[in-house]
């Protein structure tokens, strides 16, 4: 049974996953390379939980319990006693492989190692360790505390026990699990990103303004947000890298990121995280 969870990487996804785990009674060890980032993550978590208490979604006791279960560290060795470690560091194969090698050395033999990657081949991370049968993908969606789905990615090397344990963990978080094969984009991103890319194509061709495209998809399909607001939420750099991975695997030009997206990334207009994307945001 997974009770103690290590999370590596102090970005939006890492802190969202930490919130999900701490709220459902798991002990969480957050590891960041820099203490300031780990502290910022805990501060964000505290704000998020406080807001939920204000809105009557969480009791004061639950809030205090969740916070008390979270500890931070800069030291990877502190993850040694975890039952599961989920990494959510930069989408770069060399960085992730090095991390998996280190985790493999540090963690007990029974520890499950998981990646939150949305595009990289999970099997390559598995074979970087001496425990390929105990490595899988556990892919959360943004914002993790709100989104109910988690994709469990089964690389060719994973044992059934690993996939079952990952599923039980996801269900213990109160989320729905779907099992997917180890292919770029899995299910959700393989369907979502061509749609987002096509929205940019529409904008480039002048069919409608971005505001009207967003209004159209909200009102016409009951989507919670339109494609341009969603691109800004996910991050334009992340979106380009997902599209490039889909293109790389399929060689289908349909997946190639649209020029406007690439130019906006070059201009560091990355969406909410940089304060400017298709829309402007207060920082």
Residues 19-48 that bind ligand 3HC (CB under 6 A): 48
Q: How far is the CB of 238 from ligand 3HC (least distance, A)?
A: 6
Task: Locate 129 and state its tokens.
Answer: 């360790």
Question: Does residue number 271 form part of the binding site for ligand 3HC (CB under 6 A)?
Answer: no
If the CB atoms of residues 76 and 270 are measured against ligand 3HC, the closer one turns out to be 270
Among 40, 53, 147, 178, binds ligand 3HC (CB under 6 A): 147
Among 22, 89, 120, 234, binds ligand 3HC (CB under 6 A): 234
Q: Does residue 115 belong to the site contacting ligand 3HC (CB under 6 A)?
A: no
**Tokens read off for 35:** 């203490």
Known catalytic residues are 118, 139, 151, 189
C-alpha 163: how far from chain center: 18
Query: Counting Cβ atoms within 10 Å, is residue 226 exposed (0-12), middle (13-18) or buried (19+)?
Result: buried
Part in contact with ligand 3HC (CB under 6 A); list of ranges 21-29, 32-40, 105-113, 138-146: 138-146
The stretch near ligand 3HC (CB under 6 A) out of 21-29, 77-85, 230-238, 271-279 is: 230-238
Among 9, 145, 227, 277, binds ligand 3HC (CB under 6 A): 145
Please give the Cα distance from 75 to 72 (Å, whole number): 9
Kindly state whether residue 57 participates in binding ligand 3HC, applying the rule CB under 6 A. Answer: yes
Per-residue tokens: 230: 């969603």
Q: Draw the binding track, 151-170, toward ligand 3HC (x: CB under 6 A; -: no contact).
A: --------------------
Q: Which residues contact 85 (CB under 8 A, 6 or more apart)?
A: 5, 6, 7, 8, 79, 103, 107, 111, 112, 113, 114
Q: Is 118 in the site for ligand 3HC (CB under 6 A)?
A: yes
Nearer to ligand 3HC, 18 or 203 (CB): 18
Report the C-alpha gap between 188 and 186 in whole angstroms.
6
Task: State the nearest-atom distance from the C-beta of 235 to ligand 3HC, in Å.
Answer: 8
Q: Total number of residues binding ligand 3HC (CB under 6 A)?
A: 18
- Which residues of this protein are in contact with ligand 3HC, per CB under 6 A? 48, 51, 55, 57, 118, 141-143, 145-147, 189, 192, 224-225, 230, 234, 238
């Amino acid at each position: 049974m997974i009770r103690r969870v290590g999370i590596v990487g102090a970005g939006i996804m890492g802190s969202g996953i930490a919130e999900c785990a701490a709220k459902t009674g798991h002990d969480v060890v957050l590891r960041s390379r820099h203490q300031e980032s780990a502290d910022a993550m805990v501060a964000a978590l505290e704000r998020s939980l406080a807001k939920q208490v204000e809105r009557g979604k969480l009791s004061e006791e639950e809030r205090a319990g969740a916070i008390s279960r979270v500890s931070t560290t800069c030291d990877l060795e502190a993850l040694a006693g975890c039952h599961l470690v989920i990494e959510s560091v930069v989408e770069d194969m060399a960085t992730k492989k090095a991390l998996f090698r280190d985790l493999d050395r540090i963690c007990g033999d029974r520890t499950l190692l998981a990646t939150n990657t949305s595009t990289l081949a999970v099997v390559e991370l598995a074979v970087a360790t001496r425990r390929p049968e105990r490595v899988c993908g556990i892919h959360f969606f943004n914002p993790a505390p709100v989104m109910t789905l988690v994709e469990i990615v089964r690389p060719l090397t994973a044992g059934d026990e690993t996939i079952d344990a990952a599923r039980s963990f996801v269900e213990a978080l109160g989320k729905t699990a779907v099992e997917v094969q180890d292919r770029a984009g899995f299910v959700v991103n393989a369907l979502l990103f061509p749609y987002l890319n096509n929205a940019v194509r529409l904008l480039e061709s002048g069919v409608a303004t971005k505001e009207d495209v967003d209004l159209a998809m909200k009102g016409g399909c009951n989507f919670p947000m339109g494609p341009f607001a969603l691109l800004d939420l996910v991050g334009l750099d992340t979106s380009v890298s997902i599209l490039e991975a889909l293109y790389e695997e399929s060689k289908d030009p349909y997946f190639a990121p649209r020029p406007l997206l690439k130019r906006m990334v070059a201009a560091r207009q990355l969406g909410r995280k940089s304060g400017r994307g298709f829309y402007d945001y207060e920082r």
